[in-house]
Structure 1
Amino acid sequence: MHIVAFGTYDVASHPRVAVLIEGLRACGAEVTEVNRPLGLDTAARVAILRQPWRLPLLVLRLLVCWSGLVGESLRRRRDRRPDAVLVGYLGHFDVHLARLLHPRSTILLDHMVSAAGVATNRRLAGSGGLKLRLMKAIDAMALKQADVVVVDTAEQQQALPEDVRRHSVVCPVGATSEWFDAGARALERPTDAPLKAVFVGLFSPTHGVPVIADALDILADDERIEVTMVGQGQQYDEARRLAAGNPRVSWVDWVDAEELPDFVAGFDVSLGIFGTVPQARRVVPNKAFQGAAAGAVVVTSDTAPQRRMLESAAMLVSPGSPEELASALTKLADDPDEAQRLREAAYEQAREHYTPQAVASPILEVLS
């Protein structure tokens, strides 16, 4: 089966599509990439929603990327028509071009996050405002173009319109092989004092970083716990203010994607998400899968999808509860043996269920 991974996706910012590509290849499919990264992450797109006068920048960059996509697609199509086209994450606009260029191929849309969901979570639109109606229209038009819609949890699937749900498939986010390689090496290192935890993310409301920061403030006097916060975003300044009293917190602007697996594998704990917005209750973030694959204890919020997918291989705390998060980190610092057991359990859980091949196999089942 020949599948084209298509769009303006950026695996450095959103590794989801890289997992699917690796997994489809591991399952025996021939996958070629036709990709022109847009260079605008979720935060930049949100800024455009907040400041509509920036919209011409998005349109211009999209047209430049699309011109490259059209040229390469036409050259490749002369040799062989793809059986399916996988439009990468944040492909709300790319899916229309994919349908135009490949009218006889099966179009797969990786729809992990809806535009309307982003607008609601980031308080960009009221319940009936013009912006929200526009985002819903963008979602509806994108979903209409897809033959198969790919989501990451059953909860995300249930949030789809009923007619779309019938031709959707659930593929967890998972992690690429580099994370598992890093995890195998990391487990050779025993858990020892001080307990080292890491958060990597874009500081969005879904992540609930102020909850982490409040927990760090509670732990300000505990010398056994060190935390590194990686990334920047909407709630970054608030998080720094709330955690300012803890001298054992380090702030890192970003870590290159190539270095990230070994970087995270150097920690005992990987912090997940703790937000209370609706989106936070429907997803399992890539940082949870990556942290588990890297051989770290996953500490994240106790939501239905995370409880189901991570099972006993994680420490779960109530969403929005800094007290429970602080208590979980204290327990791990108190009992290094239990922390080591959870590290190993997390790795085994990820290796059994969330390798690229395991994640992508439902797509080939649908296509078959």
Structure 2
Amino acid sequence: MAMVSLERWMTSPNLFAMDKPTLLILGVQLESEGYPNVLHRVAALQDSAHFSVSKIHYSAWATSTQRSAGLGRVLRNFWRMLAAHCAVLFCYLRHPPIDCIYVPYPGTLLLWALSFLPRRSKRVVVDTFISLYDTVVLDRGLLRENSLAARLLFLLERRALRAASINIVDTEQSASHLCALFGLRAEQVLAIPLSTDEENFIPVTEQADPARCRVLFVGTLIPLHGVQTITAAAALLADRVDIEISVIGDGQQAAELEQVLAANPGCLNWQRQWMSSQELAGAIAESDICLGIFGDTEKTQRVLPLKLYAYARVGRCIITAATECTERFSAGVDYQPWHTVPAADPQALAQAIVELADAPAARDELASNAVRFYRDRLSNVAAQQQLQAVLLGGT
């Protein structure tokens, strides 16, 4: 079994600069390109000149725990999760007092356990990102809302989030939702944009092909993505042989996509196997139009998914649902960062694709606007500045 990663005292050069605030990164996160917000946010903090940084980390899951199926996989994940939390908590209890603790996503179980233990810091900042209860129960419906398991999950997460000084989410709408759902004070929840992979995802000028328009959707096929809306729009565009719609990803609603493709694929094709960051960046760069989210769930209104960050960073024309979140993010800018359509409206989506497929100049303008919007509102520099201020004690 892998040992706990301790990057503190003698292993951290910043720790000798005693005039700096001390920061402990405490977590069970998987630091891989599959979780870019975690990977790049933690790396930036470790390189920060503003803190003396130490780190206690043990990944709660790994590739090896996913190779089996059924009960074997469940047991592997359970024991790995239990070992990770126990190891991190043991080292935490031996750690001297610190100015601030930062807990990367996922931190719910760790925070819940910390709520019963002596504090090593008066300030605990957790990257909550998304609520476990909201995702499992309210959004995906994997547990019945009135079931005992759902109720226990709610109580566990409420205690965990209330134990944090600051909970970080990525949108103002998610912050308000978290406060309402768990009874948190408004000052306990702050919105900071996600951190992303800016090494593989770089601005690339579109190489338009006059004979075809390449439309791309990337996602995990969960309800808020609105897969049905995309497939229905593709069916409406079946006679447009110059429009190609590609889907990359797999997930909860994959079976529905399978049925559509088996019946009448039309202009739709599916790359089910997930790609590396480099491959995804390449796929986005080769597209002309990129699709965001179109679901009719409540959660659709309050999220700005990571795919929109990637599309904007590369510089592609984006079509996504008009939501409270997209309206709030684009408020105050004098340009249009994306083209919006009503949620869960295949006709409107199909019409928007046709209009932009037939108007390369409009696509170019939206692509340029997306790059500008990423730089102004979504970049890692912008997010890191906000996070550092929170860790230092500001809001």
1: distance between equivalents of 2:87 and 2:278?
25
Residue 356 of structure 1 is matched in structure 2 by 380
Q: Does 1:106 align with 2:123?
A: yes
What code does the residue aligned with 1:335 have?
Answer: A
Q: Does 1:294 align with 2:338?
A: no
Considering only CA atoms, is the larger Rg found in Structure 1 or Structure 2?
2
1: distance between equivalents of 2:278 and 2:79?
29
After TM superposition, the structure 1 = structure 2 runs for residues 131-280 of structure 1, keeping only pairs within 5 Å, are 131-161=149-179, 162-178=183-199, 182-183=202-203, 186-187=204-205, 189-190=207-208, 192-244=210-262, 245-252=264-271, 253-280=273-300
2: distance between equivalents of 1:126 and 1:63?
25
2: distance between equivalents of 1:241 and 1:97?
44
2: distance between equivalents of 1:124 and 1:344?
40
Q: Which runs of 5+ in 2 are unaligned?
A: 1-20
2: distance between equivalents of 1:255 and 1:291?
15
What code does the residue aligned with 1:287 have?
Answer: K
Deviation at 1:64, TM superposition (A): 2.7
Q: Contact (CA 8 Å) 1:202, 1:234: kept in 2 or not?
A: yes
Residue 324 of structure 2 is matched in structure 1 by 304
Let me know the Cα RMSD of the aligned residues.
Answer: 3.1
1: distance between equivalents of 2:55 and 2:229?
39
Q: Which runs of 5+ in 1 are unaligned?
A: none
Q: Does 1:62 align with 2:78?
A: no
TM-score normalized by the length of structure 1: 0.85
Deviation at 1:281, TM superposition (A): 1.2
Q: Contact (CA 8 Å) 1:14, 1:89: kept in 2 or not?
A: no
Residue 92 of structure 1 is matched in structure 2 by 108
Residue 316 of structure 1 is matched in structure 2 by 340
Q: Does 1:329 align with 2:353?
A: yes
Q: Contact (CA 8 Å) 2:234, 2:266: kept in 1 or not?
A: no
1: distance between equivalents of 2:152 and 2:25?
27
Shift in CA distance, 198/222, structure 1 to aligned 2, threshold 3 Å: same
Shift in CA distance, 106/205, structure 1 to aligned 2, threshold 3 Å: same
Shift in CA distance, 159/216, structure 1 to aligned 2, threshold 3 Å: same
Aligned identity (percent) is 25
* SS of 2:320 mapped into structure 1: strand
Greater relative CO (CA pairs within 8 A, separation 6+) = 1
Q: Contact (CA 8 Å) 2:24, 2:102: kept in 1 or not?
A: yes
Shift in CA distance, 304/191, structure 1 to aligned 2, threshold 3 Å: farther
Deviation at 1:149, TM superposition (A): 0.5
Deviation at 1:354, TM superposition (A): 0.9
1:271-304 deviations in whole A, cap 9, x for unaligned?
Answer: 1111111111111111111111111112111101
Q: Contact (CA 8 Å) 2:166, 2:189: kept in 1 or not?
A: yes
2: distance between equivalents of 1:228 and 1:188?
17
1: distance between equivalents of 2:194 and 2:356?
26
Q: Contact (CA 8 Å) 1:6, 1:98: kept in 2 or not?
A: no
Shift in CA distance, 230/102, structure 1 to aligned 2, threshold 3 Å: farther
TM-score normalized by the length of structure 2: 0.79
State how many pairs are aligned: 355
Q: Contact (CA 8 Å) 2:60, 2:85: kept in 1 or not?
A: no
Q: Contact (CA 8 Å) 2:218, 2:307: kept in 1 or not?
A: yes
What code does the residue aligned with 1:356 have?
Answer: N
